[in-house]
A and B are shown apart, each in its own frame.
Chain A
């Protein structure tokens, strides 16, 4: 009886010791998965995903609280990259969080109508609006991410979203687009719908 207790107790002690050493040896700082997710997000800090910024959203995805389809600025490409990273199915963007802008947008303040209320400055997640109380505000175009968060707070509706003009600095090669032709029509039609 005593030897049985000693054997089991001794084994448990030895394995506990080994696991304790392994825990010290294989210590993981922070959450490496959240880091990798964070790198894929667009870092606009726009908050349209309902989280305060990209990093909190990445942590929420890593812990399984949030879905991967809540990031309008990232669009389909971010959703696909996240799906690839996490090994889950890519789902279309959740319309509750906004729409994917077809063209990159830029906020422009109609300076004649601006009353200098500073409300849009407080709303801007990337601090790209400069101005002061009762003085005209303006947008630093190079910093604006086009998240549209400054539109609702403006009391005089003097902010417009305008498409970014294609200039030498902002022009990019278009992606090569190959039209996909469905081979089997009814299966292709059912694959378009999200799985039930």
Chain B
């Protein structure tokens, strides 16, 4: 039980995928201008990450390893992720067309979000079992959502702040992301890995 808790804490705070491992920076910068969009993107990514982490574990354990086809890992993981993203896209288009429009190109781009493939591959590398893979994927997604929401909230305030002209827009966004990453490094002593 403690192991499972440690996995969650480790992926959400200590080894946060965006701020400590610098994976998935594209949607982090791209759709963090508004809080609602960031929450929508976070939820979509949570769904995709958890599901793809679990199903890539299943495919790896029950298909690729028994048939000695480990060299097909990246290919088949990408296939799984693309299918799940396609499904998520359809579901969001049906349930919330406005969110679909707002997320725009960033929704299909979850496919190429390196955090998603990264989680699937790290699961294999760290030889997680089924529940650990699920928790690892979910923790990574929760961490992603957390920093997305925090970052979007900061950026909304930055819009109204008195920033020198050369720093406005993405420049101050990147500076903020760097400071947030520094702050998240404070968690690194929390769990001995």
A residues bordering B, Cβ < 8 Å? Answer: 3-4, 7-8, 11-12, 15, 18-19, 22-23, 26-28, 32-33, 36, 62, 85-87, 184, 186-187, 191
Contact sample, A vs B, 16 pairs, CB 8 Å cutoff: A7-B72, A11-B59, A15-B80, A18-B87, A19-B83, A22-B91, A26-B93, A26-B94, A27-B94, A28-B94, A28-B97, A87-B34, A87-B98, A87-B102, A184-B162, A191-B160
B188 at the interface (CB under 8 A from A): no
| B75 A8 Cβ-Cβ under 8 A | yes
9 nearest A-B residue pairs (beta carbon): A15-B83, A32-B97, A26-B90, A26-B94, A87-B102, A187-B162, A33-B97, A22-B87, A3-B67
**A15 CA / B51 CA spacing, docked (Å):** 14
**Nearest CB in chain A to that of B95: its residue:** A26
In the assembled complex, the CB of B142 is this many whole angstroms from the nearest CB of chain A, namely 24
Kindly list 12 other residue pairs between chains A and B, CB separation below 8 angstroms, not including A8-B72, A22-B91, A187-B162.
Answer: A7-B72, A8-B75, A8-B79, A11-B79, A11-B80, A19-B90, A23-B90, A26-B93, A27-B94, A33-B97, A62-B101, A87-B34
In the complex, the answer to whether A28 meets B98 with C-beta atoms within 8 Å is no
CB-nearest residue of chain A to B31: A87
B interface SS class: helix
Q: Are B75's CB and A36's CB within 8 A?
A: no
Interface of A is mostly: helix
**Docked-complex contact A19 and B75, CB < 8 angstroms:** no
Tell whether B64 is near chain A: CB-to-CB under 8 Å: yes
Given known pairs A18-B87, A19-B83, A22-B87, the reply for A86 and B76 (CB within 8 Å) is: no
- The minimal Cβ–Cβ distance linking A39 to chain B, given in whole angstroms, is 12
Closest to B104 in A: A64
Measured CB to CB, the closest approach of chain A to B110, in angstroms, equals 15
Q: Which residues of B contact A26 (CB under 8 A)?
A: 90-91, 93-94
Tell me the bound Cα distance from A191 to B82 in angstroms: 42
Chain B neighbourhood of A8, CB < 8 A: 72, 75-76, 79
CB < 8 Å: which of A19, A33, A184 contacts B101?
Answer: A33
Q: Give B103's nearest chain A residue, CB to CB.
A: A87
A191 vs chain B, min Cβ distance (A): 8
CB <8 Å contact, B97 and A36: yes
| B131 contacts A by Cβ under 8 Å | no
Alpha-carbon distance A18/B82, docked complex (angstroms): 12
